[in-house]
Amino acid sequence: MKIGVIGGGAAGFFAAIHASGKGRDVTLFEKSPKLLSKVKVSGGGRCNVTHRPMEISKLAKNYPRGEKFLKKVFPKFTSKDTIEWFESRGVPLKEEPDGRMFPISDDSQSVIDCLFKETSRLSIEIKKSCGVKEISPMGDRFKVSTDQGVFEFDKLIIATGGFPKKESYGFLKSLNHSIVDPIPSLFTFNTPKESIRSLMGLSVPNGLVKIIGTKLSYQGPILITHWGLSGPAVLKLSAFGAKWLNERAYHADATINWNSSFGEGDYLFHLKNYVISHPHRKVTSHSLFDIPSRLWVHFCELSGIDMNQTYLTLAKKQLNKLIQNLFCYILKIEGKTTFKEEFVTAGGIALEEIVSELMESKIHPNLYFAGEILDIDGITGGFNFQAAWTTGYIAGMATHAQEL
């Protein structure tokens, strides 16, 4: 039994490992000279392997595209299964307060070494710098034309990851699968005309970002950067708003509540109480609501509050303006920036053409897909890797189906 796996990333490695077995010849192809490159850079080089185990219905909600499909898929290989798989192979994981899970080593190389060790143990042949030019179905088998020659396989798994342009899916042309137009997901907001960029490096732990004109909003840490806004709240919002923002060429207005523990009325109540308790304190020198001092000074300036003004001397107009900046800070988005090297696309192989129980093509028997090549993408937090492990596992195991 000859099995080909196209793609040397997380999904490809996991699919190859689980497709292996007695009497099986598995070959993995990677077009670049590097293997598992996204695993290497993920989580700042620590590798966010998965997210803490949760109910399948809750887990699936972290995927802007693919939620319904993944509800059927995840029970076959859950976050808990991922944790057990790596820990049983010498890579213990730890959970962070926000639910992300990393190797205890805090080094992505631990995960990479584990996957390499498994492929070596199973005698999986790996061909680097070997791009695939064309795939030709031959009945129930496949001919694969590559940079290093032509290969034939009984079963084929495609796990190349996502591509930024539809033309990049050209090597799949002869398979006649529908491709959902790829668009970026997980990106930061560019705000070139906003004065707040001068405060780059500042962050708040619990902000709320909303896109005006939509129901889209996300709560969590917000980071001010030299190009605009980033942080988990913005990245997650970008994923759910990927299509809407793409259609508007990434031009939109957003509002920010810089501490989502407080509503508009709460801000007013606490500010009035502070005026009574500390009337002679300078407003700019005493920030409230866990707002970083430099950001607080910025809000004061925008509210027309003088550097030497005390809380007692705040005019009603200044007070209202300060509350508006805290609760409903309006920001003009004009463009996006890809988040580090962790490129994620929305789009890919249409899910209605895939048998979810097997990750098998409905068009070609013995053809399987795994990972980001599918029209599936998750928010930050280990969710994209979990989808890769799960779909890779199912695709690999499904190649054994007729032998079981």
pLDDT per residue rounded down to tens, the chain (404 residues)? 999 999 999 999 999 999 999 999 999 999 999 999 999 999 889 999 999 999 999 999 999 999 999 999 999 999 999 999 999 999 999 999 999 999 999 999 999 999 999 999 999 999 999 999 999 999 999 999 999 999 999 999 999 999 989 999 999 999 999 999 999 999 999 999 999 999 999 999 999 999 999 999 999 999 999 999 999 999 999 999 999 999 999 999 999 999 999 999 999 999 999 999 999 999 999 999 999 999 999 999 999 999 999 999 999 999 999 999 999 999 999 999 876 555 688 999 999 999 999 999 999 999 999 999 999 999 999 999 999 999 999 999 999 986 54
- For residue 175 the two structure tokens come to 């398979």
Which residue type, as a one-letter code, is found at position 22?
Answer: K
Q: How many whole angstroms separate alpha carbon 390 and alpha carbon 384? A: 10
DSSP string, 321-344: HHHHHHH-EEEEEE-EEE-TT--E
Closest CA to 124 of 15, 9, 11, 34: 15
Q: How many whole angstroms separate alpha carbon 62 and alpha carbon 347? A: 16
User: How high is the pLDDT of residue 276?
Assistant: 97
Grouping H, G, I as helix, E, B as strand and the rest as coil, residue 241 is coil
User: How high is the pLDDT of residue 345?
Assistant: 87
The domain ranges of the chain are 2-184+344-403, 187-338
Closest CA to 122 of 11, 1, 9, 23: 23
> Which architecture characterizes domain 2-184+344-403 according to CATH?
3-Layer(bba) Sandwich (3.50)
The CA-based angle 22-23-27, given to 5 degrees, is 100
User: How high is the pLDDT of residue 324?
Assistant: 98
The answer to whether the CB of 308 falls within 8 A of the CB of 282 is: yes
Phi/psi at 140 (5° precision) = -95, 10
Question: Which run of H or of E encompasses 145?
Answer: strand 141-146
Annotate 285-320 with b (16+ C-beta within 10 A) or e (fewer).
Answer: eebbbebbeebbbbbbeebebeeebbbeebeeebbe
Longest dimension (CA), the chain: 84
Q: Give the C-alpha distances (Å, rounded to integers) separating 324 from 219, 255, 299.
A: 18, 10, 9
Q: How many whole angstroms separate alpha carbon 240 and alpha carbon 211? A: 11
